[in-house]
Structure 1
Amino acid sequence: MKKLILAGLMSACSFSAFAGVTVIVNTGNANAIDQDEIKKIYLGKSKSFADGVKVNPVNQNGNSIADEFNDKVVGKSSSQLNAYWSKLVFTGKGTPPEKLDNDQAVIDFVSSNADAIGYIDSSKVSDAVKVIATF
Protein backbone atom coordinates (compact mmCIF):
# COMPACT_ATOMS: atom_id res chain seq x y z
CA MET A 1 0.00 0.00 0.00
CA LYS A 2 2.86 2.40 0.82
CA LYS A 3 4.38 1.75 -2.62
CA LEU A 4 1.06 2.52 -4.29
CA ILE A 5 0.71 5.81 -2.40
CA LEU A 6 4.32 6.74 -3.19
CA ALA A 7 3.80 5.95 -6.87
CA GLY A 8 0.67 8.12 -6.91
CA LEU A 9 2.48 11.03 -5.30
CA MET A 10 5.37 10.74 -7.74
CA SER A 11 2.95 10.73 -10.67
CA ALA A 12 1.19 13.82 -9.36
CA CYS A 13 4.53 15.61 -8.99
CA SER A 14 5.59 14.68 -12.51
CA PHE A 15 2.40 16.18 -13.97
CA SER A 16 3.15 19.53 -12.36
CA ALA A 17 6.71 19.35 -13.68
CA PHE A 18 5.33 19.22 -17.23
CA ALA A 19 3.13 22.28 -16.75
CA GLY A 20 4.36 25.17 -18.83
CA VAL A 21 4.31 28.89 -18.28
CA THR A 22 2.53 31.05 -20.83
CA VAL A 23 3.12 34.79 -21.10
CA ILE A 24 -0.01 36.72 -22.03
CA VAL A 25 -1.02 40.22 -23.07
CA ASN A 26 -4.29 41.95 -23.84
CA THR A 27 -5.91 40.78 -27.10
CA GLY A 28 -5.55 44.30 -28.52
CA ASN A 29 -1.77 44.32 -28.07
CA ALA A 30 -0.04 44.00 -31.47
CA ASN A 31 3.57 44.15 -30.21
CA ALA A 32 6.02 41.34 -30.89
CA ILE A 33 7.79 40.50 -27.64
CA ASP A 34 10.62 37.98 -27.29
CA GLN A 35 12.05 36.31 -24.18
CA ASP A 36 14.77 38.93 -23.75
CA GLU A 37 12.21 41.75 -23.80
CA ILE A 38 9.97 39.88 -21.33
CA LYS A 39 12.98 39.49 -19.01
CA LYS A 40 13.77 43.22 -19.27
CA ILE A 41 10.16 44.09 -18.45
CA TYR A 42 10.15 41.89 -15.35
CA LEU A 43 13.50 43.29 -14.19
CA GLY A 44 12.27 46.87 -14.62
CA LYS A 45 14.80 47.57 -17.39
CA SER A 46 12.14 48.09 -20.06
CA LYS A 47 9.16 50.24 -19.23
CA SER A 48 7.22 50.25 -22.49
CA PHE A 49 6.24 48.10 -25.44
CA ALA A 50 7.83 48.66 -28.87
CA ASP A 51 4.93 50.93 -29.88
CA GLY A 52 5.70 53.26 -26.96
CA VAL A 53 2.78 52.23 -24.72
CA LYS A 54 3.87 51.97 -21.08
CA VAL A 55 3.91 48.34 -19.95
CA ASN A 56 2.08 47.21 -16.82
CA PRO A 57 3.52 43.81 -15.74
CA VAL A 58 1.94 41.61 -13.08
CA ASN A 59 3.49 38.74 -11.16
CA GLN A 60 1.89 35.86 -9.34
CA ASN A 61 2.09 35.73 -5.58
CA GLY A 62 4.71 33.14 -4.63
CA ASN A 63 3.34 29.99 -6.24
CA SER A 64 4.90 27.28 -8.42
CA ILE A 65 4.04 29.13 -11.65
CA ALA A 66 5.86 32.22 -10.37
CA ASP A 67 8.87 30.09 -9.44
CA GLU A 68 8.90 28.45 -12.87
CA PHE A 69 8.55 31.81 -14.67
CA ASN A 70 11.34 33.37 -12.61
CA ASP A 71 13.62 30.43 -13.30
CA LYS A 72 12.87 29.89 -17.01
CA VAL A 73 12.30 33.46 -18.19
CA VAL A 74 13.95 35.87 -15.77
CA GLY A 75 16.85 33.55 -14.94
CA LYS A 76 16.65 34.08 -11.19
CA SER A 77 15.17 32.16 -8.30
CA SER A 78 12.24 33.77 -6.52
CA SER A 79 14.47 34.70 -3.57
CA GLN A 80 17.07 36.25 -5.90
CA LEU A 81 14.36 38.23 -7.66
CA ASN A 82 12.93 39.44 -4.33
CA ALA A 83 16.41 40.57 -3.25
CA TYR A 84 16.91 42.30 -6.62
CA TRP A 85 13.66 44.24 -6.26
CA SER A 86 14.30 45.03 -2.58
CA LYS A 87 17.55 46.73 -3.59
CA LEU A 88 15.85 48.75 -6.33
CA VAL A 89 13.02 49.81 -4.05
CA PHE A 90 15.44 50.75 -1.24
CA THR A 91 17.52 52.91 -3.58
CA GLY A 92 14.42 54.47 -5.17
CA LYS A 93 15.26 53.08 -8.60
CA GLY A 94 12.21 50.95 -9.21
CA THR A 95 8.92 49.44 -8.18
CA PRO A 96 8.29 45.71 -8.62
CA PRO A 97 5.33 44.45 -10.62
CA GLU A 98 2.09 44.04 -8.71
CA LYS A 99 1.48 40.52 -7.42
CA LEU A 100 -1.83 38.80 -8.05
CA ASP A 101 -3.03 35.65 -6.30
CA ASN A 102 -3.63 33.18 -9.13
CA ASP A 103 -3.94 32.50 -12.86
CA GLN A 104 -7.53 33.71 -13.08
CA ALA A 105 -6.67 37.02 -11.40
CA VAL A 106 -3.88 37.52 -13.97
CA ILE A 107 -6.21 36.66 -16.87
CA ASP A 108 -8.84 39.10 -15.55
CA PHE A 109 -6.26 41.88 -15.10
CA VAL A 110 -4.61 41.40 -18.49
CA SER A 111 -7.92 41.15 -20.36
CA SER A 112 -9.07 44.40 -18.72
CA ASN A 113 -5.88 46.43 -19.28
CA ALA A 114 -4.49 47.13 -22.76
CA ASP A 115 -1.01 47.80 -21.32
CA ALA A 116 -0.79 44.64 -19.20
CA ILE A 117 1.51 41.63 -19.45
CA GLY A 118 1.39 38.59 -17.19
CA TYR A 119 2.00 34.86 -17.05
CA ILE A 120 -0.16 31.88 -16.23
CA ASP A 121 -0.10 28.10 -16.21
CA SER A 122 -0.29 26.99 -19.86
CA SER A 123 -3.34 24.84 -19.13
CA LYS A 124 -5.34 27.94 -18.07
CA VAL A 125 -5.08 29.90 -21.35
CA SER A 126 -8.39 31.32 -22.57
CA ASP A 127 -9.63 33.42 -25.49
CA ALA A 128 -9.78 36.46 -23.17
CA VAL A 129 -6.02 37.02 -23.62
CA LYS A 130 -3.34 36.77 -26.30
CA VAL A 131 -0.46 34.30 -25.92
CA ILE A 132 2.95 35.78 -26.81
CA ALA A 133 5.27 33.06 -25.49
CA THR A 134 5.27 29.66 -23.83
CA PHE A 135 8.14 28.26 -21.78
Structure 2
Amino acid sequence: MNRAGFIIIGLTLCLVAAEAVADVVAVVSAKNPVTTLSKSQVVDIFLGKTSRFPYGSQAVPIDQVEGSAARDEFYLKFSDKSPAQLKAHWSKIIFTGRGQPPRDVSNSFEVKKFLNENPNAIGYIEQSAVDGSVKVLLSQ
Protein backbone atom coordinates (compact mmCIF):
# COMPACT_ATOMS: atom_id res chain seq x y z
CA MET A 1 0.00 0.00 0.00
CA ASN A 2 1.26 3.47 -0.79
CA ARG A 3 1.72 6.35 1.64
CA ALA A 4 -1.55 8.07 0.64
CA GLY A 5 -3.46 4.89 1.42
CA PHE A 6 -1.99 4.74 4.92
CA ILE A 7 -2.85 8.40 5.49
CA ILE A 8 -6.47 7.85 4.41
CA ILE A 9 -6.80 4.79 6.65
CA GLY A 10 -5.25 6.70 9.55
CA LEU A 11 -7.60 9.67 9.13
CA THR A 12 -10.60 7.36 8.90
CA LEU A 13 -9.59 5.61 12.13
CA CYS A 14 -9.15 8.97 13.86
CA LEU A 15 -12.65 10.05 12.82
CA VAL A 16 -14.16 6.78 14.01
CA ALA A 17 -12.32 7.06 17.36
CA ALA A 18 -13.46 10.68 17.79
CA GLU A 19 -17.09 9.66 17.24
CA ALA A 20 -16.77 6.80 19.74
CA VAL A 21 -16.26 9.31 22.58
CA ALA A 22 -19.51 11.17 23.05
CA ASP A 23 -20.05 14.32 25.06
CA VAL A 24 -20.29 13.50 28.76
CA VAL A 25 -22.55 15.43 31.16
CA ALA A 26 -22.80 15.47 34.97
CA VAL A 27 -26.25 14.35 36.12
CA VAL A 28 -28.39 13.73 39.19
CA SER A 29 -31.73 12.02 39.62
CA ALA A 30 -34.76 14.00 38.48
CA LYS A 31 -35.84 13.65 42.15
CA ASN A 32 -32.77 15.55 43.43
CA PRO A 33 -33.44 19.22 44.34
CA VAL A 34 -30.09 20.40 42.91
CA THR A 35 -30.57 22.15 39.57
CA THR A 36 -27.05 23.30 38.76
CA LEU A 37 -23.50 23.01 40.04
CA SER A 38 -20.31 24.77 38.99
CA LYS A 39 -17.49 22.82 37.40
CA SER A 40 -15.44 23.14 40.60
CA GLN A 41 -18.33 21.88 42.75
CA VAL A 42 -18.73 18.79 40.54
CA VAL A 43 -14.98 18.12 40.54
CA ASP A 44 -14.74 18.57 44.33
CA ILE A 45 -17.45 15.93 44.83
CA PHE A 46 -15.81 13.43 42.47
CA LEU A 47 -12.29 13.98 43.86
CA GLY A 48 -13.43 13.59 47.47
CA LYS A 49 -12.83 17.21 48.47
CA THR A 50 -16.46 17.61 49.57
CA SER A 51 -19.17 15.11 50.36
CA ARG A 52 -22.18 17.44 50.32
CA PHE A 53 -24.30 19.31 47.82
CA PRO A 54 -24.49 23.09 48.35
CA TYR A 55 -27.85 22.76 50.14
CA GLY A 56 -26.25 20.39 52.70
CA SER A 57 -27.46 16.96 51.63
CA GLN A 58 -24.98 14.09 51.24
CA ALA A 59 -23.55 13.82 47.70
CA VAL A 60 -22.74 10.28 46.55
CA PRO A 61 -20.52 10.28 43.43
CA ILE A 62 -20.81 7.37 41.01
CA ASP A 63 -18.02 6.63 38.53
CA GLN A 64 -18.10 4.51 35.43
CA VAL A 65 -15.59 1.67 35.36
CA GLU A 66 -11.89 2.38 35.04
CA GLY A 67 -10.81 2.43 31.41
CA SER A 68 -14.22 3.40 30.04
CA ALA A 69 -14.29 6.18 27.46
CA ALA A 70 -16.94 8.09 29.44
CA ARG A 71 -14.83 8.05 32.62
CA ASP A 72 -11.66 9.14 30.85
CA GLU A 73 -13.50 11.94 29.04
CA PHE A 74 -15.26 13.12 32.20
CA TYR A 75 -12.08 13.48 34.23
CA LEU A 76 -10.08 15.00 31.37
CA LYS A 77 -12.77 17.58 30.55
CA PHE A 78 -13.92 18.46 34.05
CA SER A 79 -10.79 18.09 36.20
CA ASP A 80 -7.98 18.08 33.62
CA LYS A 81 -6.77 14.76 35.08
CA SER A 82 -5.57 11.85 33.00
CA PRO A 83 -6.35 8.29 34.13
CA ALA A 84 -2.83 8.02 35.62
CA GLN A 85 -3.22 11.33 37.49
CA LEU A 86 -6.60 10.23 38.83
CA LYS A 87 -5.15 6.93 40.04
CA ALA A 88 -2.31 8.81 41.78
CA HIS A 89 -4.80 11.19 43.39
CA TRP A 90 -6.86 8.36 44.88
CA SER A 91 -3.78 6.39 45.93
CA LYS A 92 -2.68 9.37 48.03
CA ILE A 93 -6.17 9.92 49.52
CA ILE A 94 -6.55 6.23 50.41
CA PHE A 95 -3.01 5.98 51.81
CA THR A 96 -3.54 8.97 54.11
CA GLY A 97 -6.93 7.64 55.23
CA ARG A 98 -8.84 10.69 54.01
CA GLY A 99 -11.33 8.88 51.82
CA GLN A 100 -12.29 6.30 49.26
CA PRO A 101 -12.89 6.71 45.52
CA PRO A 102 -16.46 6.77 44.20
CA ARG A 103 -18.23 3.47 43.64
CA ASP A 104 -18.20 2.51 39.99
CA VAL A 105 -20.78 1.00 37.70
CA SER A 106 -20.42 -0.45 34.22
CA ASN A 107 -22.09 2.10 31.92
CA SER A 108 -24.48 5.07 31.57
CA PHE A 109 -27.54 2.84 31.91
CA GLU A 110 -26.26 1.59 35.27
CA VAL A 111 -25.50 5.18 36.37
CA LYS A 112 -29.11 6.18 35.64
CA LYS A 113 -30.40 3.10 37.47
CA PHE A 114 -28.26 3.93 40.52
CA LEU A 115 -29.38 7.59 40.47
CA ASN A 116 -33.01 6.51 40.33
CA GLU A 117 -32.51 4.30 43.40
CA ASN A 118 -30.37 6.90 45.25
CA PRO A 119 -31.58 10.49 44.74
CA ASN A 120 -28.50 11.91 46.52
CA ALA A 121 -26.14 10.33 44.00
CA ILE A 122 -24.37 12.24 41.24
CA GLY A 123 -22.86 10.69 38.14
CA TYR A 124 -21.95 11.31 34.53
CA ILE A 125 -23.31 9.80 31.34
CA GLU A 126 -23.08 10.33 27.61
CA GLN A 127 -25.32 13.20 26.55
CA SER A 128 -27.12 10.83 24.18
CA ALA A 129 -28.26 8.79 27.22
CA VAL A 130 -30.00 11.74 28.91
CA ASP A 131 -33.73 11.20 29.47
CA GLY A 132 -36.44 12.29 31.88
CA SER A 133 -35.01 10.23 34.75
CA VAL A 134 -32.03 12.58 35.17
CA LYS A 135 -31.22 16.29 35.36
CA VAL A 136 -28.13 17.61 33.60
CA LEU A 137 -26.17 19.75 36.05
CA LEU A 138 -23.19 20.52 33.92
CA SER A 139 -21.98 19.86 30.40
CA GLN A 140 -18.60 20.70 28.98
TM-score when normalising by structure 1: 0.89
Cα distance in 2, alignment partners of residues 42 and 6 from structure 1: 35
Correspondences of 1:47-126 after superposition (within 5 Å):
47-62=51-66, 63-126=68-131
Unaligned runs of 5+ residues in structure 2 are none
Q: Runs (4+) of structure 1 moved beyond 2 Å?
A: 1-11
TM-score when normalising by structure 2: 0.86
Cα distance in 2, alignment partners of residues 74 and 6 from structure 1: 30
Cα deviation, residue 30, structure 1: 2.1
Correspondences of 1:30-41 after superposition (within 5 Å):
30-31=33-34, 32-41=36-45
Of 15, 19, 27, 1:15 maps to: 19
Unaligned runs of 5+ residues in structure 1 are none
Alpha carbons of structure 1 residues 13 and 35: separation in structure 2 relative to 1, 3 Å: same
Residue by residue over 1:55-94, the C-alpha shift from the partner in whole angstroms, topping out at 9 and shown as x without a partner, is 0001111211111111111221111111111111111111
Q: Which amino acid aligns with 2:16?
A: A
Larger Rg computed on CA atoms: 2
Cα distance in 1, alignment partners of residues 14 and 80 from structure 2: 27
Number of aligned pairs?
134
Cα distance in 1, alignment partners of residues 88 and 42 from structure 2: 19
RMSD value over aligned CA atoms?
A: 1.8
